[in-house]
Structure 1
Amino acid sequence: MNVSEIIKPENQVFCKTKLMTDATLSYCPGCGHGTAHNLTMEVIDEMGIVADTIGVAPVGCSVLAYDFMNIDMTQAAHGRAPAVATAISRLWPNKYVFTYQGDGDLAAIGTAETIHACNRGENIVVIFVNNGIYGMTGGQMAPTTLSGMPTSTSPYGRDVKTMGSPIKMTELVANLPGVYFATRHAVHTHKHARKAKKAIQKAFENTRLKKGVSFVEIVSNCNSGWKMTPLESNQWMVDNMFPYYPLGDIKVDGVLK
């Protein structure tokens, strides 16, 4: 088979779980959201919990997550996903309930809902995608934007003296007693994606055991918001995001690392 045959659509092989719909993803090329979606659906499929899982979609780049994930999902108002997930989990305590949120949704307008759901120890999974910017609405500064990082609302870079320091949400919630598992990963390489998948699986297993909140942060790129190519944004993420948001477990089985 020559190259011209390989690139024909009928000869392409897509590594997509059956729980991802055929809807065209609304994300920019190179964004980590699609991989994070697929990993989450792989875990749900492999655990055999499709019929017992309910997801809560946020407002932000992943506002249409319910179009891409072929499971029961509902929509929450901006930042209110943990509150909606709390209601679902309490009404159906034997369900696996998760939220899927970006940093603007979870760490800005939804700070209160996030903190209090974690403090109460609601039996839910929180999947938090952190790209350090408001990706959908024009690249504004987010609570997670790095010091000195330029955005559309901080064109000269984030000034810590006047704008505060970037918030490390996973470290913050890990100190709350209701959080049983808190970890941070990435999905820009196969190696990192495999680790992220294991973390997501552990989070859902914790829900089965009714251990409280499992908080999985995924540090991602935003090549359009950062004004870079996908490859450039991945390298920038490694060089700049990872030193401030180091990957790895922060709290496991209720114990801080």
Structure 2
Amino acid sequence: MNYLDYLRTDKFPHFWCSGCGNGIVLCAIARAFEELDLTLENTVVVTGIGCWGKADDYVRTNSFHGTHGRALAFATGIKLANPSLNVVVLMGDGDGITIGGNHFIHAARRNVDVTAILVNNFNYGMTGGQYSGTTPEERITTTSRYGHIEEGFDICAVAKAAGARYVARASTENPQQLKNLIRDGIKKQGFACIEAISPCPTHFGRNNGMRSPAALMRWVNENSVTPAQAVAMSEEELAGKLVMGLICDRPGEDYSTKYQHVIEKAQSEVKK
């Protein structure tokens, strides 16, 4: 299949704002599907609420549009009901790690075999630019007009600490890297988290003196380092930096496989 076969091109142009990176992430996902030769029948895209939550409107695979913050809960149920499915979960920073933070850490802890793709735009984009759990400290939002006083979550650090087997980050300025990380995350058995950095140009950018997508990209580049560079940096030097690339890739039997062992054990006990 061609990557366009996974998309509802008749629904284009999409509704996202000019300069938003969501279209780039969607294309990276479709190209990853193409390289893995996934079928429409055996692939499920699960979304929540928010700008990125609208992505299921544009895919031709099976899809499930859930409630705010609950995408991973629904995805877990879908995967356990049919472990043969490829389950890909699309969430924003507000949906996935702020409102849905509890589901996020437990899906990672349980090592549920789903691929979570979190688009981090550093605010609640759809509802007016309020701060989210990833908004950097001192940044201006519609609900922090004099500077945000909280430290933002490092999504990848949370995923790794919670037990995710595969953790990676890329920005929408590097779609090739993003596509490769998504592809490898889908291939990974167990919970995979790929964070896509895509600052909101409509709210976050304008509120913080970056009124064009190009300015936002420069800001991301200036604050990005590779995993190799990060190893040589102190904690103080890493403050406010975004580590781009593969952050964690470790083995571990996924939840569905472990659960099948329990089923088999129970069945053998019944037969005795």
The answer, yes or no, to whether TM exceeds 0.5 is yes
Match of 1:6 in 2: none
Unaligned runs of 5+ in 2: 226-239, 253-272
User: What secondary structure, in the 3-state scheme, does the structure 2 residue paired with 1:63 have?
Assistant: helix
Aligned counterpart, 1:239: 222
Paired with 1:118 and 1:142, the residues of 2 have a C-alpha distance of: 21
**Counterpart check, 1:172 vs 2:158:** yes
Quick one: which of 22, 43, 58 aligns to 2:48? 58
1:103-118 matches, within 5 Å, as: 103-118=93-108
* Alignment partner, residue 246 of structure 2: 249
Distance verdict in 2 for CA 1:233–1:16, change over 3 Å: farther
Aligned to 1:213: 191
| Structure 1 Cα separation of the partners of residues 184 and 246 of structure 2 | 12
| TM score, norm. by length of structure 1 | 0.84
The residue that corresponds to 2:16 in the other structure is 27
Regions of 4+ moved over 4 Å: 240-243
The structure in which a higher percent of residues are helix is: 2
Structure with the greater alpha carbon radius of gyration? 2
Code of the residue aligned with 2:191 in structure 1: it is V
The size of the alignment, in residue pairs, is 229
Give, in whole Å, the separation in 2 of the partners of 1:130 and 1:232. 17
Question: Does the 8 Å CA contact 1:102/1:129 hold for their aligned counterparts?
Answer: yes
Aligned residue in 2 for 1:196: 178
Instruction: Note if contact 2:134-2:153 (Cα within 8 Å) is conserved in structure 1.
Output: yes
Deviation at 1:25, TM superposition (A): 0.8
Q: What's the CA shift for 1:141? A: 0.6
1:187 equivalent in structure 2: 172
Aligned-CA RMSD value = 1.8
Partners of 2:83 and 2:181 lie apart in 1 by 22
Cα distance in 2 for partners of 1:101, 1:235 equals 24
Provide the C-alpha distance between the structure 2 equivalents of 1:102 and 1:133, rounded to a whole number of angstroms. 9
Shift of 1:254: 4.0
Shift of 1:67: 1.4
Partner of 1:125: 115
Deviation for aligned residue 1:46 = 2.6
User: Which whole-Å deviations, capped at 9, do the CAs of 1:89-123 have from their partners, x for residues lacking one?
Assistant: 00010110011000000111101111111111101
Higher deviation after alignment, 143-152 or 236-245: 236-245
* One-letter amino acid of the structure 2 residue matched with residue 173 of structure 1: A
2:212 corresponds to 1:224? no
Once residues 111 and 241 of structure 1 are traced to their aligned partners in structure 2, the CA distance between those partners, rounded to angstroms, is 24
CA contact (8 A) 1:39 1:197 kept: yes
Residue range with higher mean Cα deviation, 168-177 or 144-153: 168-177
Supply the AA of the counterpart residue of 2:199: N
Give secondary structure in 1 for the equivalent of 2:134: coil
Q: Note the residue ranges of structure 1 that are not aligned, 5 or more in a row.
A: 1-14
Q: Distance in 2 between matches of 1:39 and 1:99?
A: 14
Asked whether the 8 Å contact 1:184–1:248 carries over to 2, the reply is yes
